[in-house]
């Protein structure tokens, strides 16, 4: 069972323990922490109730952490008042805690107050996109540039004498991507919607593109930088050659497991994953978030936290109706990389 000392409530545990009062039980503590661990644990032990022994975990959690644990623990067998659920929790939290998009469709019925901005009307006013190579946008503390990853000058302009500590990039896979309908160049407003540039090169041209990009990334990143490099499995050899040529070390492969498979005609099995190389500079020590690197408490992690330390990432795709890129990846992929390899300075 899990006992939150802040609220003095039993958060989750064996169904037979829900009716008794902890004050009537004998609690044996076998491990104690002076300050909460990353998962909030302050003590481990067991409880004796009517001659039976139950595992016992004492935590110091916020109200949101307690809510999260309760919902995850009861998700499989619980019945929900979705109207109450929608009023007390937001869509993203419930989605991360185990509810599918179909289950959360009731959010579509929740009335929200709209502002006066008409995005569709503004979109129709655009006769021709004006962004061109070299244009730089300052978005609060963030910078976005329209550039060529092979050209060093764009890195200089973007970074302004600074260096990046994390690279999370999704280069063209060089697979000549076509939609399920067989279209790779669908006609959008500007004639390029659905098109992926540099996705149908000869092997030697793709190798040059990857190598030059990785060389620039090496030059404009810190020595402890970590690289997340997405790629197509069929082109693994080209990607590894480029990494080696640019002196990046390949540590391991992350597998993104999607919630649905993609029809893969002409192949033995339908595809439901994409791989990502994780690495750093050869001969250098890489940075990692030490709070997430300590696995001492791994066996007492909640399921939601445990899956974040695996090299299998179970993350749902975005709704394809909302895609603004033909092979769009969910922001949650980069969020996980950022969480693992970054701490606020």
pLDDT, one tens digit per residue, over 262-301 is: 777 778 898 899 999 999 999 999 988 766 555 555 556 6
CATH 3.40.50.150 placement within the chain:
164-341
Higher model confidence: residue 181 or residue 314? 314
Percent of the chain with pLDDT over 90: 34
- DSSP string over 54-99: EEEEEE---HHHHHHHHHHHHTTT----HHHHHHHS-HHHHHHTT-
pLDDT, one tens digit per residue, over 62-90 is: 888 888 888 877 776 667 777 777 778 87
For the entire predicted model, the pTM comes to 0.60
pLDDT, one tens digit per residue, over 204-248 is: 999 999 999 999 999 999 999 999 999 999 999 999 999 999 999
User: Per-residue pLDDT for 188 more than 80?
Assistant: no
- DSSP string over 224-284: EEEEEEE--GGGHHHHHHHHHHTTEEEEEEEEEEEEEEE--TTSSS-EEEEEEEEEEETT-
Tell me the average pLDDT across 197-203. Answer: 88
User: Per-residue pLDDT for 185 more than 50?
Assistant: no
pLDDT for position 243: 98
CATH superfamily placement of domain 164-341: Vaccinia Virus protein VP39 (3.40.50.150)
Mean pLDDT of the chain: 81
Q: How far apart are CA 13 and CA 319, in angstroms?
A: 35
pLDDT for position 49: 77
């Amino acid at each position: 069972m899990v006992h939150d000392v802040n609220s003095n409530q039993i958060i989750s545990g064996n169904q037979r323990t829900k009716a008794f009062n902890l004050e009537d039980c004998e609690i044996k503590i076998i491990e104690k922490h002076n300050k909460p661990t990353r998962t909030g644990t302050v003590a481990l032990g067991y409880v004796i109730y009517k001659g039976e022994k139950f595992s016992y975990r004492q935590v110091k959690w916020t109200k949101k952490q307690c809510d999260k644990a309760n919902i995850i623990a009861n998700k499989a067998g619980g019945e929900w008042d979705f109207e109450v659920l929608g009023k007390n929790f937001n869509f993203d939290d419930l989605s991360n805690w185990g509810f599918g998009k179909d289950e959360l469709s009731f959010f579509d019925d929740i009335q929200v107050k709209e502002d006066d901005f008409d995005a569709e009307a503004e979109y129709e006013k655009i006769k021709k996109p004006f962004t061109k190579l070299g244009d730089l946008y300052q978005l609060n503390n963030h910078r976005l540039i329209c550039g060529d990853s092979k050209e060093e000058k764009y890195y200089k302009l973007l970074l302004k004498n600074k260096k990046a500590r994390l690279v999370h990039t999704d280069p063209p896979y060089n697979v000549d991507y076509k939609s399920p309908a067989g279209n790779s160049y669908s006609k959008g407003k500007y004639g390029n919607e659905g098109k992926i540039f540099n996705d149908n090169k000869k092997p030697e041209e793709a190798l040059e593109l990857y190598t030059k990009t990785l060389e620039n990334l090496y030059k404009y990143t810190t020595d402890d930088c970590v690289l997340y490099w997405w790629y197509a499995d069929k082109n693994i050899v080209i990607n590894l050659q480029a990494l080696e040529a640019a002196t990046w070390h390949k540590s391991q492969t992350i597998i993104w497991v999607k919630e649905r498979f993609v029809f893969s005609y002409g192949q033995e099995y339908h595809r439901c994953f994409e791989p990502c190389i994780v690495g750093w500079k050869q001969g250098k020590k890489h940075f990692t978030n030490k709070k997430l690197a300590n696995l001492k408490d791994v066996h007492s992690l909640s399921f939601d936290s445990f899956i974040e330390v695996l090299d299998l990432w179970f993350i749902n795709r975005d709704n394809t109706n909302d895609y603004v890129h033909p092979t769009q990846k969910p922001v949650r992929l980069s969020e996980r990389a950022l969480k693992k390899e970054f701490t606020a300075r």
